[in-house]
Each structure stands twice: as structure tokens, then as C-alpha cells.
Structure 1
Amino acid sequence: MAEINELNDNLKQCKKRLFNWNTKGCERIHIWGNYIDVTPGEQNKYFSVQIVNKQYIMCGVHMYSNLNGEHYDERVALAEEIMYSIKHIKQRLQTEHVIVIGDINESPYEKACLSAKGFHALPALQILDKGSRTVYGKEYEKMYNPMWNLFGDFKYPPGTYYRVESKLYNPCWFMLDQVIISQSMIPLMVKEQLKIITKCGKGVLYTDNRYPNSNISDHFPIMCEFNI
């Protein structure tokens, strides 16, 4: 709680007034924003749904980690629960605008992100593409995951999290922190502002080896911007 209070005090010094949105029921997630017309949706231990200006659905997530055992299937089930909750809000508000953002704790190519039963977040999607696909007679809405564009070593950093384990399968760099958006949000996204943050006003966020500095955070933060 001390860290949250310190962050809150630092945010108060920003030029823009930021409000701590209501995430009661989701102690793992805290959200600040400059929008006042914000109504909380479903609050769960692992996600917080917020309705902004009665037309934008934003869901902050902090999903199951693999540090204490693999939880691939559990994350798929949680992603399915999140999308089910969002679907009902979309129907009620008659909107298609959705942003899912946060620590998904798996990379874009893994089950919860790509599975049609999960986020169904594809690496390529255009505004004119068909917005869904049918699997065994059931229709699944497509989402878009722009984080694929930041993956790999063409530009530092290669991901948001670094971990080496004695396993045959270990990419070392992982893109655990992501933003996933609905098809309707694609033209509103400012592509140049999708970034992995490695520096802040107080200095760099990485070690001498250029890995995330766990004394600050074991994950690099991300940022994105939308014209709304």
C-alpha cells in the first residue's frame, strides 16, 4: 500500500489531473485516468472492467503466472470469462470499442492470447477484414494484438520480461505485458505511440545487462495511445 500511496502522490504532481478509478474487488490492479465519466464493470481478483464515457470498455488484467507451475489452461478459462463479461457490456451499451491491457503473463503466441476461446487476439487484422471466424459451427469475434510488432531484437527491448530457466523450451525474452483491442479501435490507435518503456524521469529501468531491473520491476511497462 505504501508504494501505491507514493505513486498516487507522484501522479498528483503531473500537469494533468488523474483520478484513481474504482477497482474495489480487484486488489491486484489500480487504474488512474483523466476521464471522469467512468463506471466500474465486473471486478475480479484478476481483472477490472471499466466503462469510459459510456462507449469505451477498458479491462485491466493481471493474470495467472507460471512461476509456481504452468497455468496455460487456467489463463484460457480466465480470458474466456473476461470476454464473456465484455460481451454483455457491449450488448448493453451498443458499442464495439474494447481495450484489454495489462500483465497477461504469457506471450502473444500462447493459448489464452490466440485461442478463439480466449482473447482470439490476432497478429494482423484490418478494419475492413471480416470481424469473426467460425469454428465447429460457433462464431468467435476477432481481436487485434499489436504487440507482435514489438517482438524480437530488431529494436530494444525484445520483450517486457526476461527469465532464463533450465528447460528445453525457453525463449528467455517474453512479451507478457500487452494491449489487445477490438477491430473498431484499430483506426483510433496511434501506432507510433505503442512502446515498451525502459526509461523514466528518475532514470533507466534496466540493469547493466539491459534486463528489467527487478529492484524497480521485473517487467518493463508499456504505453499506447488512441485518438478518442
Structure 2
Amino acid sequence: MSTVIKEFEGKTKSSNSIIIGDFNMNPFEPGMIQTTGFHSTMSKSIAQRKSRIVDGHEYPFFYNPMWSFFGDEGKGDVNGTFYSSRSQPINYFWSIFDQVLIRPDLIPYLEDDGVKIITEFGVAKKLLKPNETIDDAISDHLPISCTLKRI
């Protein structure tokens, strides 16, 4: 994946990329963090190094703010964008498949609370059931939003 993105950024002469979507992977999975994948990190300070060299090749970073939503002390009202309670030996229950990836040069433009997992629309439409799982009559994923500021 990194090759396709680097080629696009080379053609457009810009590395100000933001990728938002359903990756069907958690932020910690290999396709999200490996150099030949999205090469994303949970740390702004690491991402701001811009890139790293592995086996003689340079790989630019993406910053992935979605890591901040994991766990009871995570930000937001919910621990993920996808919920599954399958009867399997390993089950995360909440996963963050829907993510925001941002290149280091754009980090200063990211609002402090600019990334959100949306749990309701307006005052009447809640996307979570009373047991705090996703209302699958609406969707199997919760939507996300990202706000950038002008500097």
C-alpha cells in the first residue's frame, strides 16, 4: 500500500495526505503498521520524524489518532467503531476498523478533539443500543469524523 500512496504523492508533488475509511483492521495489525502497509503510528512525536529507513528504503509515516479510543480511559464515548461478541477463544469485542491516517505535516492542523467516533445524530437518533453495542438495524460500524483547523 505504501508504494501506491508514495506514487500518488510523487505525482501530485504533495505529501499532505489524509486517508479516512474502513480498513477492516485494527490500528495495531500488520497492514496498518508495517512499512509496506500504511506505516502508521500511535505517536505524534514518532510520526513527526516523517520517515524511517528499513533495509535501505525510506518509508514515510502516517499518524493514526484512533489508538486513543481504546480502553475505558480512552477518549470518546465508545471503545471502537465495530463490535463483535463472537464465541471464539480470542475476541477483542470492540475493534477500530474505521480510521483516520494523517501525514506528519498535517498534524498541527488536526483539532485537539478533532477525531470522533459518532454515536448519535441530533437529539433523537442514537446509534448504540441500551447495552452499548451498535444498533445493527442502522449499520454494523459507527461512523467517524475528522476536523482540521486553519492556521
The aligned counterpart of 1:191 is 112
Partner Cα distance (1:186, 1:127) in 2: 12
Secondary structure at the residue paired with 1:97?
A: coil
The aligned counterpart of 1:221 is 143
User: Bigger radius of gyration, 1 or 2?
Assistant: 1
Structure 1 residue 227: deviation in Å? 2.1
Partner Cα distance (2:8, 2:34) in 1: 22
Return the TM-score normalized by structure 1: 0.60
The aligned counterpart of 2:23 is 104
- For the aligned residue pairs, the C-alpha RMSD in angstroms reads 1.7
Aligned pairs for 1:159-178 (under 5 A) are 159-178=80-99
| Matched-pair contact (CA < 8 Å) for 1:127–1:183 | no
Partner Cα distance (2:25, 2:7) in 1: 26
Sequence identity percentage: 36
- The one-letter code matched in structure 2 to 1:204 is K
Q: How many residues align?
A: 147
The aligned counterpart of 2:134 is 212
User: Structure 1: 5+ residue runs without aligned partners?
Assistant: 1-79
Q: Sort the Cα spacing of 1:99 and 1:128 in 2 relative to 1 into closer, same or farther, 3 A.
A: closer
The aligned counterpart of 1:91 is 10
User: Structure 2: 5+ residue runs without aligned partners?
Assistant: none
The aligned counterpart of 2:36 is 117
- The one-letter code matched in structure 2 to 1:206 is L
Partner Cα distance (2:47, 2:30) in 1: 26
The aligned counterpart of 1:181 is 102
Return the TM-score normalized by structure 2: 0.89
Q: Which stretches of structure 1, 4 residues or longer, exceed 4 Å deviation after superposition?
A: none
Of structures 1 and 2, the one with the larger relative CO (CA 8 A, separation 6+) is 2
Secondary structure at the residue paired with 1:191?
A: strand
Partner Cα distance (1:116, 1:127) in 2: 14
Partner Cα distance (1:214, 1:175) in 2: 16
Partner Cα distance (1:100, 1:129) in 2: 17
